[in-house]
Structures are given as structure tokens and as C-alpha cells.
Chain A
Amino acid sequence: MGRVWSILFLTVPILGVWTFVAAMNDWWPMSEGAFGPGQWFPALDVSNHVIDHLFYLILYLTGAVFIGTGLVLFWFLWRYDAATNKDPVVFSHGSHALEVVWSILPAVVLLFIAIYQMDAWANARMRRPLTAEGAVKPPLCRVSGRQFEWRIQYPGEDGRLDTPDDLHVLNDLYVPVNEEVVIEIESLDVLHSFFLPNMRVKQDVVPGMRQYVWFHPVKEGVSDIVCAELCGWGHYKMRGQISVVNAAEYDRWFSAAYAAQETSAYDPAEEEE
């Protein structure tokens, strides 16, 4: 085999890079442009680019390291192939300088990433949006994960959850566009993860914990809510739908949904179904 092995190792960085380039340019025969041409992310529906920016930054850092190690590995296999290498074997006792470099350098890079993303983390997890008066913004609704659906509860006129005038809907989240949306999330049974790919929001939902997520949608439209934590056999079908609509549309939807929930008459003759 000889140098054939080293060629095999060379294909690793080449294929790795090719995979990403093809994904970025939508060259997959299978995907048919799941997110549209040239889109390898779901569309960005929030004003905040920081998550995507961090993703690319880390991708480039790890990509550089990946390509570098792949090439070094290839070069060593090629250069010191037993069949062709006539040089005597050299036993080295390690180089102190080299050890220091490859310990300190990654440490510095990791530290840089940690500090660089601090603000993004704080904005996503700690600095809850405030109302005009400076109080924390109350949640628009509560989303409860349950095997295998998202149960959504909006406070009624009294603005408080868990009162008899709440609106209950299933898998069908409506939020108004162009304002900070705060959502309270909880689990009714096991671990789930509330994932809004288009809003760049993902938060594990832990039973017994009450947590809040927030985002600021700027585009109207319909996108997915998915569960991103294996929660049982039906995990794959735990999908919901988030609709971002303008304020007037939101109010219309709310009244209609509430009226449907308060239905008290039925005559099959009038059903169009």
C-alpha cells in the first residue's frame, strides 16, 4: 500500500472542506434547497445577527485547525513512508518550546472565544427585556413541552396566567412582529428543548424549572418550532408552528381563537366540514 494510505488521509481535509462548501452553495442533490438557494441556515427572522456571527467565527477557527492538522498528518505519512524513506530513525525527547506553544495557543484562543461571546450570552439569557417603565417584561404566553406536543397558554384579559380566562392552543404559536417577545417555557413531563431555528433561540426545557426566552422577530411569516432534546419515541414528531403576524392580525387571531374556545353551540347541519 505504502503511500496510498497517505493519500487516503489527504482526502479527509479535502472532503471536509468540500462538504461545507457544497452545503453553503446548495450543491446537494437531495436537499433541493431546503432553505432556499445559497441558504444553508434557516432564514433569519430576528434583527439580531450575533448568533450567526459567532457560529461563523467558530466555524472558521475550527476549520483552520482541522485543515492544518489534516495536512500535517498527510505530510508525515508521505514523507516518512517506510518503503521510500531512506533516512535513519531519529528519537527526539520532545521540545519544551513546542509543548509550551501548543498548550498556550489553544488556551488563548479558547479564552478569546469565552470573552468575545459574553455579551451575546448575557443578552440571550440574563438581560430580560424591560417594559417602558423599567420593569421586566411579562411573558406573552407560556409554552409547555409535553410528550409529544407544545401546549401554549396565553393570559386572558387579566394579563395573568392560570386563571379561567386563559386561551389554550396547541402547537400553534402566534407572536406579534417588531416587538420583544418573552415566552415562559416549562415541561410537563421530561426534558425537551424549545428550538426556534428561525429566531436563533434554543433552550432546554427542564421539568420543574421555569425559564424565559426572548427574541425580536422582524419578519412576518410561518416557521417551525421543533424539539431539540430526545424526549421519547415520538420526539421526531414534536413539531409546532410559530406565526409572526402584525399587531392587528394578532389581535384578530386572538379573538377568533378565544371565541372558538368558548363555543357553546353545535349543529352538524351548519358544519361545512
Chain B
Amino acid sequence: MNAEDCSRTGRGGWAGWALVVLGAIATTGCYSPAAKFEPNKIAIHKSELENEYQFSEQYQLQPIAKILADAFGTPDDPKLPPVPGIEDVLDLEKIKMAAGPYGSDENGKQRGLYRQHCVHCHGINGDGAGPTAAFLDPYPRDYRPGKYKFKSTGTGLPPTHADLKRIIDNGAAGTAMPSFKLLTEDEVEALTHYVKYLSIRGQAELFLIEAQFGDLYPAVVKSPSERNAEEQKYVDELSPEEVEEEKEEFLEEVKFFESEENIVEEVIGPIVDSWAEAIDEVTIVDERPGKVDTASIEKGRELFFSAKTGCAGCHGESALGDGQTAEADFYDDWTRFYYDPSDPSTLPGYLALGALEPRKLRPRNLRQGVFRGGRRPLDIYWRIRNGIEGAKMPAAPPSVTDEEIWQLVDFVRHGLPYDALSENEPHQPENARVRN
């Protein structure tokens, strides 16, 4: 072979390949399906187990999905239900800033903040089960039940706008929730509104699944092929007239929710109202009386170990969070929704639907100076006074006075030995020669 042959190899071959590669790039990778809200499968499964039937696709699941889509729209195109006064709780402009795919719209307005910053952990539905959730401890918050731990309102009440914003701003120390302090004011507002939006949507969905549609027994409206054995047995025991009668009742119930008015009245209205009223339910805290001194810390210590408060029961004799929590049922509400420690047999079914592996709660180790809901005296006062929603921390009984709570706050903040998270030895030999 001489040099002339070499120069003629592969003539034209590379051009063909280049075309193939370009064509492949052009046709793939640019398309992804639009995001959509998934139904709350775990709640549906739970309802089915409790009532021993299976939801009817046509008369229950589809109406629920339609109601939610009509009222709240899709993740790319959110809407607000026509509830009077909803604009005091949710700002649609702001929600649109956070919704949709990440980028900006034709006017250059920011879009998709939620998918940029939150969706990894909290998921498209706000179910706290995004792709990274399983690797985190504690698990990310599931917004859908509308329960939040770190807030200024009492147990059973939604948080205020400022509460959610504070956590987004400062993160939750000791968890995987980072601080978003450097986002602009507008962006944090948008994310706060979007969290509330997902929460209210999730609560409406839960209410429909558990109460409204969950109370219906769909055996009679299903065709014989759709029924399971239980349902078939139930129908067989009825006379044909009874079947007809029950069918009519059932369809009437379903029909009731075809009107937007009824949905607003019965389902979404009350939820939105509770969020709107949260600001009036804040536990107002007056400037603390007196100063932190050894006497108040000492009183706090006594209270901490007293039967009146029972703090040491869980937080332990040394406040390391190693108290008597051996009881089997030490799980938070989000886990207990699908996991019953006394009957773990149903768990695999839930895990298959994407529920996260249950993890036991741990009472806080108070000696590390890490306070998830904030380290200000005010934050700790709220935790003790109101308890922590969804977790095992109870609200202080009314017999504990405000002054006593402040003493407990002093003890927790100043009366305990401080264990830094990482006490590592400095091991770089310092070269202390004078700098030149």
C-alpha cells in the first residue's frame, strides 16, 4: 500500500455518519411529557383497605381527578378555585412564577422556581417523595395533609405565610432543607405561595378520597366483571329493587359534586378559610420578662426534670434525646398515615405505591444547639407552648405558666453542656514564622 491509497480511504463516509448523528440529536432529547399531578395513591389504597372495596374508576377516581383539575389546574398551568377571599391566601401571579418548567415566559418573567429548587425532594405533587427523598433523614415534608411542624400557630391549625417563608429563608437546621436566603424577595414569596397552593390542593384531595367519595360503597354501580369477591357477595345479598335504589343514591351523591358551587361550599371553602384565619390564631408572645440568669436556668432545670412537664421522659436524663421512647408507636403522623406499627402486614402494599420506608422518630438531642425550627428564644417558646404538629412533642399543658416556659427556654439554650457536632482535632501543623 502506498501513500496515494491512504489518502483516498473513507471518502464521503464521515459525512454520512455526521448526518446520522445530527438527525439523532434533532429527534431525541428535546421532548419530555408535561408534568401532571398524580393521584394520592397512598390515601386511595388506605381507603380501600379500610372500607374493603375498590374505588370505581368511572364514578370515583375520575370525578376526583376532574374536580381537582377544574379547581387547581395542572403543574404547568395552575388555577385557583373560585372561593371567596382566596386571594388573601393565594396569589395566582406568584404561583405562576413558581409553577411550570424552569425558565422564563415570552415576556422574560421568571417561571418554574419550584422545579428549579424544590422538586428534587418535595416532588411535583408536594408529596415529600421526590427522587432524592429516600436518601434523606428526616424525610422531606409532605405538604398534602397541610400539617407543618415549625409554625407560630397551635396544633391542628395551618401555619401562617410568615412561618413557611421563615423556613424557606433559613432552612431547617439539622435536616436536608437548605436556606434560600439569597433568592430575591419575590422568588421566596412565589415559592411560599406555591407551597400553600400544593397544600390546599392536597388537603382537598385527601378530603375527597377519605370523606366524600370514600364513604360511598361502589359495588352496585360496577359491572359484575369489575367487582371483587366481597363486593359480589354484597350485591348478591340484595334484591334487585334494593340494588336499583342504592345505585340511585350513589349516583345522586356523585352528581352532587358535579356542581362547582357544592365543591366550593363543602370541600375547598373550609380549607381555604382555615388558612386565611391562621394569621388570627398566632400565639402572640410578649417580650420576655426578666433576664437570663443562673436563677432562671436553675428553675428551668427543675422544671425539665419535673413530672409537671415530663420533658426528660423523652429528651432523656441528660437531654441527649435518649429518653423512654422504646414504645413501639414512635412515628410521626405522616408515617402513621400508612404505617401501623402494631400491624406491619399492610406495609409492603404501601411501599410498592411509593411510600417511604418508615423511620422511627428521635426526640431532639438538646445538647448540640441545633434547633430545626429556629434557634431564637421565640422559636423555642413556640415549640414548647404549642408542641410540634405531627410529631410526638406535645403542647405544654395550660398549668405551665409563660414564665415557666421562659425558664425552660433558658435551660435548653444555656443550661446544658454544649456538644459541638464535630469536635475534630486541628491537625495542620501551624507554621508560625513571621510573615515577610
Contacts and interface: CB of A to CB of B under 8 A. Distances in A.
Interface of A: 1-2, 82-83, 89, 122-123, 126-130, 134, 136, 146-149, 151, 162-164, 166, 168, 170-172, 186, 188, 208-212, 233-234, 237-241, 260-268, 271, 273
B279 interface: yes
Nearest to A189: B176
A265 B427 contact: no
Contacts of A123: 435
Nearest to A266: B285
A261 B369 CA distance: 13
A130 B432 contact: yes
A238 B178 CA distance: 9
Contact of A128 (B152, B420, B432): B432
Contact of B182 (A166, A233, A241, A266): A241
Contacts of A239: 182
B93 interface: no
A268 B288 contact: no
A164 B410 CA distance: 11
Contact of B418 (A148, A163, A233): A163
Could you say which of A134, A149, A172, A241 has the most chain B C-beta atoms within 10 Å of its C-beta? A149
B178 A265 contact: no
B7 A83 contact: yes
18 contacts: A83-B4, A122-B431, A129-B435, A136-B430, A147-B176, A147-B178, A186-B424, A209-B424, A210-B424, A210-B427, A211-B428, A263-B377, A264-B376, A264-B377, A266-B285, A267-B284, A268-B162, A268-B282
A233 B120 CA distance: 9
B171 interface: yes
A134 B369 CA distance: 34
A271 B162 contact: yes
B171 A149 contact: yes
Interface string B171-192: 1010010110110000000000
B171 A208 contact: no
B421 A188 contact: yes
Contacts of A172: 181
Contact of A162 (B378, B418, B427): B418
A273 B160 CA distance: 12
Contacts of B181: 170-172
A265 B369 contact: no
Contacts of B178: 146-149, 234, 237-238
A233 B170 CA distance: 20
A268 B160 contact: yes
B431 A164 contact: no
Contacts of A260: 376
Contacts, number: 116
Contacts of B11: 1
Interface residues of B, number: 52
A141 to B, nearest CB: 15
Contact of A240 (B4, B182, B421, B432): B182
For the residues of B in contact with A, the DSSP-based class is: loop
A127 B286 contact: no
A262 B380 CA distance: 11
Could you say which of B6, B406, B430 has the most chain A C-beta atoms within 10 Å of its C-beta? B430
Interface in B131-168: 132, 152, 160, 162, 165
Contacts of B435: 123, 127, 129-130
Given A83-B7, A148-B178, A233-B132, A164 B413 contact: yes
B359 interface: no
A123 B152 CA distance: 50
Given A82-B7, A147-B178, A127 B376 contact: no
B117 interface: yes
Contacts of B176: 147
B414 interface: yes
Nearest to B381: A264
Nearest to A80: B3
Could you say which of B7, B11, B152, B406 has the most chain A C-beta atoms within 10 Å of its C-beta? B7
B109 interface: no
Nearest to A232: B132
B301 to A, nearest CB: 15
B433 A2 contact: no
B427 A209 contact: yes
Contacts of A240: 182
B371 to A, nearest CB: 10
Contacts of B41: none
A265 B418 contact: no
Nearest to B179: A170
B231 to A, nearest CB: 45
Nearest to B183: A237
Interface in B1-45: 3-4, 6-7, 11
Given A147-B176, A262-B376, A126 B120 contact: no
A220 to B, nearest CB: 19
